[in-house]
Amino acid sequence: MVEKLLSDYTINQWIEEKPILKSISQLENVFWLNPVKPDFESAMNRIHLSAKDVREAEQRLERFAPFIKVAFPETEESNGLIESSLDDISRIKKELELIYDTKIPGKLLLKRDDTLPIAGTIKARGAIYEVLKHAEHLALTEGLLDSIHEDYTLFASEAFKAFFNQYKLVVGTTGNLGISVGVMGAKLGFKATVHMSHDAKNWKKELLASRGVEVIEHPTNFTMAVERGRNQSNEDPRSYFVDDEHSLDLLLGYSVAARRLSKQLDTQNIIVDEEHPLFVYLPCGIGGSPGGITFGLKQLYGDHVHCFFAEPTHMPSMLLGLITQAYDGVSVIDFEINDKTIMDGLAVPRTSGFVARLLENFFSGGFTIQEEEANYWLAHMMDIEDIALEPAALAGLPGPTYLMTTRQGQEYIKQNQLETFMENATHIVWATGGSMVPESDRQVVYKAGKAIEPEVFIRKK
């Protein structure tokens, strides 16, 4: 291991100080409990955000619903609401119990953000929200709108499109964020440019190009693609950069999902309280979407919701940032981790410092998933539940088994006095994307998953 300094420690000293870092650097599955997370009330006293911020974001999306309904006919049935279903996956639950040799108490549900209208991924939440907020700001500032009480179908008019065509939107991405920014930006009339890293799938580049979005490819990773996009945007005063690493608006856009999920839980007569804990498992790249959803859920359920983030063993950037508390000051490359993953939506070597610092107050912990593990469950999700996801969307699926089969998981249940309530638990795995994947690409990963035997990735108890 190279003797590089990180917060006054060499990497080898960090591994001595925190033995879990050795397992992470060796690409082993790990389950980590956050040692600095306080109770909910104390957490809220440490930060500058509140439930009011989430509500304001929700209200903005409600204002834009009439425009979205007109601009995207696929949202007509939902009246312009960009939302997904919450589905029972009890059949895959039985398979998880069989493969990991455990019992998962309570319900197992899948939040189907793979089917979100317009972009088909979780990024349709935060990214579309930020684009809409920017468009609203320009329209109000330049006098196209007199107030937020006007009819927002005006945003679909040719006059508004001509106005927005004077402005640019720029983003750096591994793919999914760019689709949401590009598709919504182009629909409004913006000149949209997406800087993509080498991890991005070709079909995502082709989709953007077909929607009139400029795609600039870089033979480098996510962090560098973002930096180059930011630099380009900074050169033009009429350009707006959607900054995946530092954006509060992205995070708040994602947070709105919590209030909508709460209504779905109510509809299904699912209670969340001290005796009915809620566990949520969220795939994590840069951190904005799992961070925003976690923050939103905490506003509703406080200490009764337990949120865990999931990362590829090859891209554990949030884990490294939180364990070392170097946040965005550490990269997977510093620990000589091979930063190549099929879970392209999570292909981020360095976490968001903004999100990591905020969410260390709310995340219960995190875990990693092997490449073969994601592929295996992708194929079996298709076979058993007839649900087609992209690899990144499977990252959270093994989460409940970590709780039940690891020392840390049992410790967490005991620490939070949940032993007698686990049979009442609800587990939600958040699916992040998959519905827009071309059939040819889907078949490649499906066949790869069918060829994998569980022994390749099964964890030792």
User: Region 315-336: what's the mean pLDDT?
Assistant: 95
Percent of the chain with pLDDT over 70: 98
User: Region 341-365: what's the mean pLDDT?
Assistant: 95
Shared domain check, 439 and 360: yes
d(CA 101, CA 364): 24
Q: Lowest mean pLDDT of 210-219, 330-339, 409-418, name the range.
A: 210-219
Q: Lowest mean pLDDT of 15-24, 201-210, 335-344, name the range.
A: 201-210
Measured distance between the N- and C-terminal CA atoms of the chain, rounded to whole angstroms: 28
User: Given a cut of 60, is residue 338 above it in pLDDT?
Assistant: yes
Position with higher pLDDT, 245 vs 357? 357
Shared domain check, 421 and 281: yes
Shared domain check, 274 and 176: no
Residue 32, domain extent: 5-49+82-118+255-456
What is the band of 243 on the pLDDT scale with cuts at 50, 70, 90?
A: confident
pLDDT recorded at residue 1:
47
Residue 201, in any domain of the structure:
yes
Shared domain check, 204 and 166: yes
Shared domain check, 156 and 44: no
pLDDT recorded at residue 249:
96
Domain's final residue, options 229, 248, 267: 248
Domain's final residue, options 233, 248, 263: 248
Shared domain check, 318 and 302: yes
Percent of the chain with pLDDT over 90: 80
Domain's final residue, options 180, 215, 248: 248
Residue 58, in any domain of the structure:
no
Residue 393, in any domain of the structure:
yes
pTM comes to 0.94
Position with higher pLDDT, 88 vs 210? 88
User: Region 352-374: what's the mean pLDDT?
Assistant: 97
User: Region 247-276: what's the mean pLDDT?
Assistant: 97
Position with higher pLDDT, 209 vs 130? 130
Q: pLDDT tens-digit profile of 182-212?
A: 999 999 999 999 888 776 778 888 888 888 8
User: Given a cut of 60, is residue 162 above it in pLDDT?
Assistant: yes
Shared domain check, 415 and 291: yes
When divided into structural domains, the chain yields a total of 2
Residue 164, in any domain of the structure:
yes
Domain of residue 307, CATH code: 3.40.50.1100
Residue 425, in any domain of the structure:
yes
Shared domain check, 101 and 33: yes
Q: pLDDT tens-digit profile of 28-72?
A: 999 999 999 999 999 999 999 999 999 999 999 999 999 999 999
What is the band of 461 on the pLDDT scale with cuts at 50, 70, 90?
A: low
- Mean of pLDDT over the chain: 94
Q: pLDDT tens-digit profile of 58-68?
A: 999 999 999 99
